[in-house]
Structure 1
Amino acid sequence: MYDTGTRIQTRIRRLFSVFMWAFIGLAIGLAYIVGWRGDYLATHVRNPRQIAIEKSIERGGIYAANGEALAGNRPFQKPHDVQRPHGDAARRDEGSARVYFGPTSLVHIVGYNHDRYGKTGVELAFNHQLLGLPRGFLRTPGLIPGLGFGSRQPQGVKQRGKPRGNDIILTIDPQLQAVAEAALGHRNGAVVVLDPATGAVLASASYPAFDANRLDVVWPDIIQDPSSPFINRATSGLYPPGSVFKIIVASAAIETGLIGPNDIFVCSGSIDVNGRKISCPGGRAHGRVNLASALALSCNVAFIQVARKIGGKTLSDFARRFGFNREIPFDLHVNESRFPAFRGEGSAGGSAGAGDGARDDENLLAEAAIGQGTVLATPLHMAMIASAIANRGVMMRPYVVSQVRRGGSGETLWRYVPARLARPVSVSTAAKVKDLLVAAVESGTGWRAGLDGMSVAGKTGTAQNPKGAPHAWFVGFAPAANPRVAISVIVENGGAGGSVAAPIARRVLDFALRREE
């Protein structure tokens, strides 16, 4: 009897334990869904509540800086699948489809809004504003009136008639965007144009792109395209900057006072780094050069010597000042540019590689001095670096959304105020680096970016790429005396920056500046 009772109690305890652990597992699962996945599920494209809310609102438009429409709504009637005996649709759903205007390359900025494929770009980042809803509204209980599921109503939404969302005004110049797109052509890469004084993105072209109006048609092809048309190369593409990184090396040399204008470096065409030979472009020996001529000629040997004198920790500090290994605040996602760590830095600047010896640091430093190795940057970030030199040493926070206006009335609900992001160098250093960059265009490798009657400051780059031909870079600004635009150009596997990227920059700069005359 005792054994039977004990066995029953044991079974009860085991059964209780099973139920208890099942309950704990269920609670953890619910906590995960609500806490960790809640935002994702609440705003998922297939969420019925999300769909119902969005269909009940006329989505706001997206406009360029000059007022041209870039995204709007086109009314349509969608017949149900159920047909009457005589072939007529049982009834029709009235709605609207999103339609896009302007250069195709704007798809990476404006994005798309699609019932099946979701949202990207400004359509995603400013979804709540385009719907005229408070931030977080889509994640809260209750639905807007008219849907029959509650009485919650966001501010500014009228009950009578279909409510209209807010309009988004961008900083994009559609004509300049079209020129940047045409100049880049069918070459993988990106062109970014900024206002150095404010940080406004005037143009941002990334290729390959796709037509958001034909998403249903092109989707099967673009998801299998090895060139990745979905990637916004301007903000997400990470590339070795090559010689355009010498802008930062020169800035560090001048700001610290470790290198003077009369310091001479001897270039024999190559330099030995722990048994490894690093050469100048074409193996050319530049002879005796100072900092100015070394930058103009893009002398790798001289800049490795400059970096050795500066030291890895100091160079790392200046890279961080210019935004490497830091998140760049922007209206859309931007990948973080990367710079390696040197001995004594710990984990703050990234991994130092397989070993921590002096030889490893020497190798890292030599590669970093010429923008190679593990140094990676986005085209947007490189345009920001050029802007910082153009803007007297002040780097502005980049932005592409300038205003939010109430749909219908046009009342301004929010306006972006330009903000300083950092001061990587002093006014004096910025002026000296600007002079170096002017010389690099007037008498150096960047001569193909020059404009008649207007001084251009810039630097070319030919970044070695282990997966193929070098990437071609040009980074600069104009007019040098009173900069109005800064530019970054990259052509993937394009070859020499001076012969490939510089002419693209020239064409874009010429249009941006000449039409104002």
Structure 2
Amino acid sequence: MIVDRAEISGNSYNIRLRNDEEGIQRGDILDRNGEVLATSTLQEDGSYLREYPRGRMAAHVTGYSSVGKTGVEAAYNFELMSVHQELLQRLSGLLEGKDPKGNDVVLTLDMDIQSAAGDLLGSTKGAVVVMEPSTGRILAMQAYPDFDPNTVSGDWDYLTTDEDSPLVNRATQGLYPPGSTFKIITALAAMEYVPDWESFTYDCTGEAEFENKVIHCYNNKAHGTVDMEEAMAESCNCYFAALAEKIGAGNLSKVMKECGILSDYGFALAHSQSVMSLNKDSSESELVETSIGQGKTSVSPLYMAMMISAVANDGIMMRPYIVDHIQYANGEIGDTTVPEKLMEICSPTETSQLNDLLVGVVDHGTGTAAQISGVTVAGKTGTAENATGKDHSWFVGYAPAEDPQVSVAVVIENSDYGKATPIAGEVLEVALEKLAE
């Protein structure tokens, strides 16, 4: 009971906790600058109404506390309902006629960056995750379709039957083929297992057959003779498929695991586990499909933000977190999250080589729409084939490339080619401006 008290208190079936809520003012949820994102207001009948001043703009992060609980409301329910110095609060409350107040939860989220990401996403299905590479702090996490946490009870029938699944946080729970953003992992595998990768070239005619699988470059464009640098900048599928043959299925699957694709990273909010099926016995067809981010590999935007952050952080993948600290009703600071190394996915030398490749993508390749005036951006575009509709658009990247301060992962569902790229560039620019204040 003591060990699992936080989990037990967060369980929606805990009758005792529901009874306790009647005599306790639930703590607030705030962004990193102190803006209130969730608060409880006393009603005339003595009950508390949970209100969300920013509504949809932070809905998938705060979640809701009405018809059950989701998001931070669920993950940190124990803290929000825990009363610091309860005896003193109750004595003071008797004099002032106030109920004791639960602890506040202060997020890593910056609502200026969150709002910019939300405005850019607009009414387009997809997700944006912004992270600080050196710590794992989540600065923004947007997803659409979304919902209004203020009206969940009244909207419940619609929310639970709508085919667009607005209650699903696509940033953490959505799974998509990574498309060409996966070429970062394929390139890393080549650095580890193909001794002549720097001199390896391939004559791209726009399509190539591997076993029983025909690989096409976008619009069947023939890139001619390309090396790794040109192939990454132009996102040449044929080159990376040929490179995968040299890497081998066993080695590529090993690097995928070393990059944490199957790891449990212990994020507080509900999230989906990425999926991979490649192994040493996989066919050549599955190998080449996987190498360009197609086939049976599926990842979440959160994972892709973690992966690109590791590249920006000398190969160190940090554990992602969205709560900075707990704040008591008297203003004192309680538990504070300490940044934690999750794993090392590659060496600083390899990240330096990857950095040069990714700078080329944005400087003169497929990612020029992510450029920021006066700032060097590194990144990778991606187009993920979708069997049920239009392709998905991806971009992952970070800036400044020389000293990364912020990273981003953007996925846009069923979109036109490259739609994620300009969104990512604008979000990176806003984030850099905010962090510089």
Shorter chain as normaliser: what TM range?
A: over 0.9
Report the equivalent of 1:455.
376
Deviation at 1:216, TM superposition (A): 2.8
Larger Rg: 1
Amino acid at match of 2:253: S
CA–CA distance in structure 2, aligned partners of residues 457 and 73 of structure 1: 43
Report the equivalent of 1:478.
399
Q: Deviations over 1:205-243 (max 9, x none)?
A: 000111111223322222221100000000000000000
The runs of 5 or more residues in structure 1 that have no matched partner are 1-33, 78-92, 134-153, 345-359
CA–CA distance in structure 1, aligned partners of residues 220 and 364 of structure 2: 20
Amino acid at match of 2:230: S
CA–CA distance in structure 1, aligned partners of residues 427 and 278 of structure 2: 36
CA–CA distance in structure 2, aligned partners of residues 95 and 343 of structure 1: 60
Q: TM-score, normalised by structure 2?
A: 0.93
Q: Deviations over 1:19-74 (max 9, x none)?
A: xxxxxxxxxxxxxxx9xxx9999866465433211112111111100011111111
Q: Deviations over 1:78-112 (max 9, x none)?
A: xxxxxxxxxxxxxxx31211111226131111111
CA–CA distance in structure 1, aligned partners of residues 190 and 8 of structure 2: 51
Match of 1:253 among 183, 190, 203: 190
CA–CA distance in structure 1, aligned partners of residues 408 and 111 of structure 2: 16
CA–CA distance in structure 2, aligned partners of residues 233 and 402 of structure 1: 22
Which structure exhibits the higher relative contact order, with contacts defined as CA atoms closer than 8 Å and separated by 6 or more residues? 2
| Aligned-partner SS, 1:271 | strand
Contact 2:10 2:74 in 1 (8 A): no
The runs of 5 or more residues in structure 2 that have no matched partner are 94-98
Q: Deviations over 1:3-29 (max 9, x none)?
A: xxxxxxxxxxxxxxxxxxxxxxxxxxx
Contact 2:10 2:76 in 1 (8 A): no
Contact 2:278 2:287 in 1 (8 A): no
C-alpha distance 130-259 of structure 1, shift in aligned 2 (>3 A): farther
| Aligned-partner SS, 2:325 | strand
C-alpha distance 76-186 of structure 1, shift in aligned 2 (>3 A): same
C-alpha distance 385-42 of structure 1, shift in aligned 2 (>3 A): closer
Report the equivalent of 1:292.
229
Deviation at 1:257, TM superposition (A): 4.7
Report the equivalent of 2:426.
507
Contact 2:251 2:280 in 1 (8 A): no
C-alpha distance 288-380 of structure 1, shift in aligned 2 (>3 A): same
Match of 2:325 among 403, 409, 419: 403
Amino acid at match of 1:268: T
Report 1:287-366 matches (<5 A): 287-343=224-280, 361-366=283-288
Report the equivalent of 1:5.
none
Contact 2:355 2:378 in 1 (8 A): yes
Contact 1:176 1:508 in 2 (8 A): yes
CA–CA distance in structure 2, aligned partners of residues 486 and 467 of structure 1: 30
Contact 2:177 2:384 in 1 (8 A): yes
Once the two structures are overlaid, the 10-residue window that deviates more, 311-320 or 236-245, is 311-320
Once the two structures are overlaid, the 10-residue window that deviates more, 184-193 or 220-229, is 220-229
Q: Deviations over 1:369-415 (max 9, x none)?
A: 001110000001001111011111111110000101112x1111111
Match of 1:128 among 59, 62, 78: 78
Q: TM-score, normalised by structure 1?
A: 0.79
| Aligned-partner SS, 1:465 | coil
Amino acid at match of 1:73: S
Contact 1:259 1:306 in 2 (8 A): no
2:134 corresponds to 1:213 = no
Report the equivalent of 1:488.
409
| Aligned-partner SS, 2:33 | coil
CA–CA distance in structure 1, aligned partners of residues 108 and 250 of structure 2: 38
2:115 corresponds to 1:178 = yes
Amino acid at match of 2:350: T
C-alpha distance 450-103 of structure 1, shift in aligned 2 (>3 A): farther
Report the equivalent of 2:343.
422
| Aligned-partner SS, 2:43 | strand
2:37 corresponds to 1:109 = no
CA–CA distance in structure 2, aligned partners of residues 108 and 101 of structure 1: 14
Report the equivalent of 2:291.
369
| Aligned-partner SS, 1:204 | strand
Contact 2:28 2:80 in 1 (8 A): yes
Contact 1:280 1:300 in 2 (8 A): yes
Report the equivalent of 2:177.
240
Amino acid at match of 1:410: G
Contact 2:10 2:77 in 1 (8 A): no
Report the equivalent of 2:302.
380
Q: Deviations over 1:356-375 (max 9, x none)?
A: xxxx5111101100011100
2:20 corresponds to 1:53 = yes
Contact 1:190 1:204 in 2 (8 A): yes
| Aligned-partner SS, 1:226 | coil
CA–CA distance in structure 1, aligned partners of residues 46 and 388 of structure 2: 51
Amino acid at match of 2:295: G
CA–CA distance in structure 2, aligned partners of residues 387 and 200 of structure 1: 11
| Aligned-partner SS, 2:345 | coil
Amino acid at match of 1:512: A
Amino acid at match of 2:109: I
Aligned alpha-carbon RMSD (Å): 2.0
Count of residues paired in the alignment: 426
Deviation at 1:265, TM superposition (A): 1.4
Report the equivalent of 1:273.
210
C-alpha distance 40-509 of structure 1, shift in aligned 2 (>3 A): closer
| Aligned-partner SS, 2:427 | helix
Contact 1:157 1:164 in 2 (8 A): no
Amino acid at match of 2:80: L
Deviation at 1:156, TM superposition (A): 4.2
Deviation at 1:268, TM superposition (A): 1.4
CA–CA distance in structure 2, aligned partners of residues 484 and 46 of structure 1: 42
Q: Deviations over 1:440-477 (max 9, x none)?
A: 11111001111111110000000000011000000000
| Aligned-partner SS, 1:278 | strand
Amino acid at match of 1:76: Q
